[in-house]
Amino acid sequence: MSGDAGVVEGPLHGYHHETYVVPLPGRPGEAEPVRWKCREPRPGLLWFDRRCFASEEELLRALQGRIEGIPDLIQAGSAGLQRFIEGETLGTLYGSGGGIPSSLLGQIVSLFGQLARVRPDSLTAERTCTSVYRAAEGDSDGFLERLILFTEEEVYQRNMPDFKGLFCDLGLDEVSFEKLRECVSGLTRRPFHLLHADLHRENFVVDGMGRLWTIDWELAMFGDPLYDLATHLYLMRYPRDQEDLMVEQWCEAVESESVVPGSSDGWEKDLPKLLDFKRAQSVFTDVIRTALSLEEEERTADASLLARAGDRIRQVLSAATVPLGIKVPAEESVTAALGRWCEERAESAGVMAGAAVPGGA
């Protein structure tokens, strides 16, 4: 595409996609080449979140002119390219747990207001989520139940063959999901609209003019608007005063911009429940990712490595004791459980390698 393979950058760092940046001649009025990104999912990866749209690029095309600060797109042959946003991520500029300038906070609030105007019947982008995971309009309880069901079936049960022993050692089982449902049920009905569903600091890019851009729309869905706020708060880790301000301004934005009133109804009661769900959901994803990171390190006998991994797992377990109805195992118990899992994986890999070699034991 560029005419010079030497100017192509990549693959860029990222978990889910292999991404390359390609400079192409600018459009009329643009003197300099413009950089575009070409990416596709990495094969063989674990996915822990629902995909509700057939194509992120198709969604972005449908949102042009409706949502500000999203990447432009061009079609280059069979490849759909997103414009590479030049700037720094919010996480690079303002790390997790720190406050952000009011000008940027205001732009995030404005984004929520724009999302509130995009109703399920007003968007042409193809949706692929099955009826099993799609709740009826306004059924916030049903929406959350389907998120729980996805975590239970596609994260917990699907990975049971590889992680059953570790889950058991950490006190995670089917009862955990029963407790979670009891803890978070009874949500107020709210009209559904478009959710980004992954608004964290690395998905915001600040350009040289101080404008905020929102990237990575692949987890977008239609659903309870309060879930988008809960996910945002959970991932951003605002200081308490700024978190309170965001909640206040979010309520004003979605109520004033939403096509249907009531987007913030019952938030005082329901926001803690949705945050509890996010804490519970993270337990299963973080346990799997942390264990796999040990396997990738290939230094599983390193006691300090196991200890650090055990500490990460105990932190996520501690945050979810109430919604999952669990007790956090002692530090040495978690470390020992991770050690056993690593040993079992190594033994299993050895058996499979032996079976693949003629005459192997």
84-103 confidence digits (pLDDT tens):
999 999 999 999 999 999 99
Q: What is the tens place of the pLDDT at every residue in 110-135?
A: 999 999 999 999 999 999 887 777 88
Can you tell me the mean pLDDT for 24-29?
Answer: 67
Region 194-199 average pLDDT? 97
Question: Which of these ranges, 28-37, 107-116, 176-185, has the smallest mean pLDDT?
Answer: 28-37
Q: Check pLDDT > 50 for residue 352.
A: no
Domain 49-69+86-344 matching CATH 3.90.1200: the answer reads yes
What's the whole-model pTM score?
A: 0.90
Region 157-179 average pLDDT: 97
Q: What is the pLDDT of residue 252?
A: 97
pLDDT on residue 51: 84
Q: Which carries the bigger pLDDT value, residue 1 or residue 312?
A: 312
Read off the pLDDT of each residue in 178-206 and give the average, rounded to a whole number.
97
* pLDDT mean over 6-30: 75
Domain ranges of the chain: 1-45, 49-69+86-344
Name the percent of the chain lying above pLDDT 90.
70
Mean pLDDT, range 24-50, rounded to an integer: 73
Three-state DSSP string of the chain: CCCCHHHCECCCCCCCEEEEEEEECCCCCCCCCEEEEEEEECCCCCCCCCCCECCHHHHHHHHCCCCCCCCCEEEECCEEEEECCCCEEHHHHCCCCCCCCHHHHHHHHHHHHHHHCCCHHHCCCCECCCHHHCCCCCCHHHHHHHHHHHHHHHHHHCCHHHHHHHHHHCCCCHHHHHHHHHHHCCCCCCCCEEECCCCCHHHEEECCCCCEEECCCCCCEEECHHHHHHHHHHHHCCCHHHHHHHHHHHHHHHHHHCCCCCCCCCHHHHHHHHHHHHHHHHHHHHHHHHHHHHHHHCCCCCHHHHHHHHHHHHHHHHHCHHHHCCCCCCHHHHHHHHHHHHHHHHHHHHHHHHHHCCCCC
Is the pLDDT reported for residue 298 higher than 70?
Answer: no
Determine the pLDDT at residue 26.
Answer: 64
**pLDDT the model gives residue 95:** 94
* 262-282 pLDDT per residue, tens: 999 999 999 999 999 999 999
Tell me what pLDDT residue 101 has: 98
- Output the pLDDT for position 24: 80
Q: What mean pLDDT value characterizes the chain?
A: 90
pLDDT-wise least confident of 4-13, 41-50, 199-208: 41-50
Residue 43 pLDDT class (50, 70, 90 cuts): low
